[in-house]
Amino acid sequence: MGGTMDGTKQRRRGDTRRRIQDVALELFAEHGYEKTSLREIAERLDVTKAALYYHFKTKEEILVSIFEDLTQPIEDLIEWGRQQPPTLATKQEIIRRYADTLAEATPLFRFMHENQATVRDLQIGESFKARIHSLRDIIVDPDADLVDQVRCASAIFTLHAGMFLLQDMGDDPKEKNRAVLEVATDLVTQAHRGAGGS
Amino acid sequence: MGGTMDGTKQRRRGDTRRRIQDVALELFAEHGYEKTSLREIAERLDVTKAALYYHFKTKEEILVSIFEDLTQPIEDLIEWGRQQPPTLATKQEIIRRYADTLAEATPLFRFMHENQATVRDLQIGESFKARIHSLRDIIVDPDADLVDQVRCASAIFTLHAGMFLLQDMGDDPKEKNRAVLEVATDLVTQAHRGAGGS
Amino acid sequence: MGGTMDGTKQRRRGDTRRRIQDVALELFAEHGYEKTSLREIAERLDVTKAALYYHFKTKEEILVSIFEDLTQPIEDLIEWGRQQPPTLATKQEIIRRYADTLAEATPLFRFMHENQATVRDLQIGESFKARIHSLRDIIVDPDADLVDQVRCASAIFTLHAGMFLLQDMGDDPKEKNRAVLEVATDLVTQAHRGAGGS
Amino acid sequence: MGGTMDGTKQRRRGDTRRRIQDVALELFAEHGYEKTSLREIAERLDVTKAALYYHFKTKEEILVSIFEDLTQPIEDLIEWGRQQPPTLATKQEIIRRYADTLAEATPLFRFMHENQATVRDLQIGESFKARIHSLRDIIVDPDADLVDQVRCASAIFTLHAGMFLLQDMGDDPKEKNRAVLEVATDLVTQAHRGAGGS
DNA sequence: CATGAATGAGTTTTCATTCAT
DNA sequence: CATGAATGAAAACTCATTCAT
């Protein structure tokens, strides 16, 4: 009981919830939240719309649940960052780790990035914005020179842009990711130098 | 007669088309394209929905018309850029001018930036993407080092982000804009240096 | 003055009304009354919708006016028929003349035939039905054998069908029309014989 | 339990689709396809418009579904006719059977007959036309004399007209139907004789 | 767990019609 | 004669959501 069972059933056991999230995110990222209907999601999963409502109370809840599941790593990163000394090395490491986090949840971040107007009215908007700001506040001293503040924010956006907007650049995606990371790291490094870090 | 008349009426004469565009853009930028209904636009203008259809064939056409009217300056800028020698000074000037262009059509660019998922299915998406790419291709040699290519793209996104995402940063918006411009210019300058510019 | 003028202007003088009728009938016959919009008519004539309203009070009036202009010949035919002796020759002549009438106003009759459901609610419906019935009553004695009554009605429908439904039959339209007329005449002849006509 | 239940509820169970078709056809036949709105259909059934869309994807699909369900007998008749020897008896039998078919699906055929302009743009138009042509081709040799071809087509239209246009003729509908059938049969018989049938 | 059936509120769009100029 | 601008009413259709089974 509850142990290993058959395996085929296990894949479907409680798995529907996850499958809904996967398909929903894929469609949200592709066509936007508003233009993705529950009918579409249900059809792709070959279940009825009503089935979605067994697992989630509303359409928005589907999105919220995806968001909550996938942004845990960012919260962890923020937590970690706050406990480190505010050295350049820490900041560089945060950039590095953030790049990894983005890479692992690309569709969600692509969605967040491309649907800001939608997301703004949708509870999670504030939540997401707050996280990004927390992150920014770790890598830049709010008392620093404004130009350096911008540089750090820009580092974050460079990572974002690298994920979603530069798909046509460079031949090898890995190489491109390395280049993006380098530019972002550079920006943070320059900001740090400007801020008087020796 | 026929001369100057009252002025109140004159403002409404033939002005409706423009007023629709204005209100529509405002709402599109605020709530997104999909979530803005024609009823909403019409109500704000105190006309009927059908009046909108007298001036525009479809909802999409409203957006397209706004887009076409407001992106002319970018096309001009691209045209100008292509006829200049590819010096660092040129590139810096393009960044400067592009910043101005963005500032003058903030709501449109905010809209484009925050509704990419929507815009992608909407004809003008490709058109806009193409313009940004053209701009990028002017400030970076496609044969340059990949890191420097990213730096230039990043310069453009820094300007974008500066417009729409950094509204809480710094006390004085003008100062912030100057800071944003400086970071973007820096990125281009660094890219140029890397590319072997003396 | 008022005499011959230029000729170009003369063609347009008061001609608009006729042109509206022509285009309207063409479109009504092609796509049906309901699916033909005034916008469509106006666009084809290269005038505005409002111009149509200068010449006709309503959409229905356009149709009514066409109807009235074009069905005069039928009324004349009925009038003529009523004053003839009820011989077989008269009936045959009516069939012959009716065939001519149909041929001369094909689009109208095609319209009436293919849009009966529409026309029924539209005033002219009754009017048209009454005319056809009058015609029928001339070529068949209401006291005749029911089979012969049907034969006569069938003669009329044969003519109609020949106009609108047999376009693919036979190589030469003229030949086909002659065949149609022959069948219709035959039917009337048979009916007459049945009715005890010597 | 599960057995016979009440009967009132049972009639409504799964019956909605059929009820929609029935009411729709009734209204389509009465006022025409274009002038019948989904609101009207829904109101008569005491359901919402959206309920219609649960059962049919579009308004047109309602019509198509009715058409497909009701024209099966014609297809069967054509199939049967093709496998018979082309004797006069066969042709007469086809006329007889076709009259029966028409009588059993009167509203649909009335609709098809009175809304040809509408139906023409509506997919099923061609489909219907093709069936009628197939039928015609069975009862008349395409190489026959043109007059006899017309006679056969006329036989079919006589049946049609008998259904929809002669409602005022004769006192007893059954008698009238018999008369119509007789005229149609006569026409086919004459055509056969003309074609060289002994 | 999931479905079949339905709803209410909304959407974009079209149309015949009006009227001041 | 004709237009430019607008309207009120209605159309077809979509969507998130509900609920008995």
| B137 vs B77: CA distance, rounded Å | 13
Say how far apart CA D160 and CA B67 lie, in whole Å.
57
Are D153 and C170 an interchain contact pair (Cβ–Cβ within 8 Å)? no
Tell me the three state secondary structure of residue D104: helix
Q: How far away is chain D from the Cα of C26, in angstroms, using its nearest Cα? A: 12
Contact B40, B27 (CB under 8 A): yes
Chain A 20-59 residues whose Cβ is under 7 Å from strand E:
47-51, 53-55
- pLDDT reading at C73 higher than 90: yes
Mutate to test the interface with B, among A34, A146, A167 (most CBs of B within 10 A): A146
Nearest partner of B108 among B176, B22, B19, judged by Cα: B22
**A162 three-class SS:** helix
Q: What percent of chain D has pLDDT over 90?
A: 64
Name chain C contacts of D179, Cβ cutoff 8 Å: 146-147, 149-150
Q: What is the pLDDT of residue D195?
A: 60
Judgement on whether residues B18 and B75 belong to the same structural domain of the protein:
no
Query: CA-nearest residue of chain C to D33?
Result: C117
Q: Do B150 and A180 touch (CB under 8 A)?
A: yes
| C37 & C131 share domain | no
Residues C6 and C92 in one domain: no
Report the pLDDT value the prediction gives residue A2, as an integer from 0 to 100.
40
Q: Could you give phi then psi for residue D21, rounded to 5 degrees?
A: -60, -45
Same domain, B90 and B115: yes
Q: Residue A140: its pLDDT value, please?
A: 84
What's the CATH code of the domain at C42?
1.10.10.60
Q: Please give the nucleotide, over all strands, whose C1' is closest to the CA of residue B60.
A: E12
Q: Could you tell me if D31 and D83 lie in one domain?
A: no
Q: Where is D172: in which H helix or E strand?
A: none
Q: Are residues D150 and D71 in the same domain?
A: yes
Q: How far is D5 from chain C (nearest CA, A)?
A: 42
- Say whether residue C59 is in contact with chain D using an 8 A CB cutoff: no
- Residue (of D99, D90, D104) closest to D162 by Cα position: D99
pLDDT value of position C196: 58
Distance from CA of A190 to the nearest CA of B (A): 10
**Spacing of B9 CA from E9 C1' in Å:** 37
Q: What is the CATH number of the domain that holds D106?
A: 1.10.357
Size of interface A-B (CB pairs under 8 A): 126
Cβ neighbours of A32 in B, within 8 Å: 34, 115, 117-118
C16 touches strand F (CB under 7 A): yes
- Show the CA angle centred on residue A116, arms to residues B132 and A157, nearest 5°: 55
Q: Do B146 and A179 touch (CB under 8 A)?
A: yes
Query: Across the interface, which of C115, C175, C180 has its CB nearest the CB of D117?
Result: C115
Domain final residue pick, A57, A75, A101: A57
pLDDT computed for residue D6 by the predictor: 43
Minimum CA–C1' distance nucleotide for D57: F13
Q: pLDDT tens digits for B72-118?
A: 999 999 999 999 998 999 999 999 999 999 999 999 999 998 899 99
How long is the CA D56 to C1' F14 vector, in angstroms? Answer: 13
Which bases of chain E are under 7 A from a protein CB atom?
1-20
**pLDDT tens-digit profile, chain B (198 residues):** 333 344 444 445 569 999 999 999 999 999 999 999 999 999 999 999 999 999 999 999 999 999 999 999 999 999 999 999 989 999 999 999 999 999 999 999 999 988 999 998 888 988 888 898 899 889 988 888 999 999 999 999 899 988 877 777 777 888 999 999 999 999 999 998 876 554
Cα–Cα distance, D33 to D38 (Å, whole number): 10
Are C32 and D146 an interchain contact pair (Cβ–Cβ within 8 Å)?
Answer: no
Task: Give the gap in angstroms from C-alpha B109 to the nearest C-alpha of chain A.
Answer: 12
Please name the residue that has the structure tokens 């209401």.
C142
pLDDT at C198 over 60: no
Contact list, D162 vs chain C (CB under 8 Å): 150
Q: What is the pLDDT of residue A193?
A: 84
Chain A residue numbers touching B153 (CB-CB < 8 A): 161, 165-166, 169
Q: Are residues B83 and B117 in the same domain?
A: yes
Compute the mean pLDDT over every residue in chain C, rounded to the nearest whole number. 87
Measured from the CB, is D32 under 7 Å from any atom of strand F? Answer: no
* Domain tally, chain B: 2
Chain D CB within 8 Å of residue C71 CB: no
Answer yes or no: do D99 and D14 share one domain: no
Mark the ranges of chain A whose per-residue pLDDT is less than 50: 1-11, 13, 198
Q: Give the per-residue pLDDT at D5.
A: 42
Of D113, D116, D183, the CB nearest to C147: D183
D129 pLDDT higher than 90: no
Taking only residues 73 to 132 of chain C, the set having a beta carbon closer than 8 angstroms to any beta carbon of chain D reads: 111, 113-118, 120-121
Q: Do C150 and D117 touch (CB under 8 A)?
A: no
Q: Does A39 touch chain B (CB under 8 A)?
A: no
Q: Which residues on C lie below 8 Å from D30 (Cβ)?
A: 117
Residue that finishes a domain, picked among B26, B57, B88: B57
Q: How far is the CA of C4 from the C1' of F2 (A)?
A: 24
* F15 C1' closest Cα residue: A37
Nearest CA in chain B to A178: B147
What are the angstrom distances between the C-alpha of C179 and each of B155, C94, C113, C166, D160? 82, 17, 20, 11, 20
- Residue B46 burial (CB < 10 Å; 0-12/13-18/19+)? exposed
Judge if B161 and B185 occupy the same domain: yes
Q: Do C148 and C117 have their domain in common? A: yes
Same domain, B156 and B184: yes
Domain around D18: 1-57
Q: Is the CB of B45 under 7 A from strand F?
A: no
Establish whether the CB of C58 is closer than 7 Å to any nucleic acid atom in strand E: yes
- With CA of A45 and C1' of each nucleotide, the nearest comes out as E2
CA-to-CA distance for D71 and D67, rounded, in angstroms?
A: 6
Which residue lies nearest F18, CA-to-C1' measured? Answer: A50
CB contact under 8 A, B32 and A161: no
Helix/strand/coil for C171: coil
Report the distance separating Cα A66 and Cα A55, nearest Å.
13
Residues A146, B169: C-beta atoms closer than 8 Å? yes
Q: Is the pLDDT score of C6 beyond 80?
A: no
Tell me: the pLDDT tens digits for C151-196? 999 999 899 988 877 777 777 888 999 999 999 999 999 998 875 5
Q: Residue length, chain D?
A: 198
Residue D14 sits in the same domain as residue D89: no
Q: Number of C:D CB contacts under 8 A? A: 124
Q: Do B161 and A166 touch (CB under 8 A)?
A: no
For residue C132, give the chain D residue with the closest CA.
D165
Please, which residues 132-161 of chain B have a Cβ atom closer than 8 Å to chain A?
Answer: 133, 146-147, 149-151, 153-154, 157-158, 160-161
Res C15 pLDDT > 90: no
In this complex, the nucleotide whose C1' atom is nearest to the CA atom of residue A57 is F17
Concatenating the DSSP letter of every residue in D111-152 gives HHHHTHHHHHTSSHHHHHHHHHHHHHHHHS-TTS-HHHHHHH
3-class secondary structure per residue, C72-137 = HHHHHHHHHHHCCCCCHHHHHHHHHHHHHHHHHCHHHHHHHHHCHHHHHCCCHHHHHHHHHHHHHH
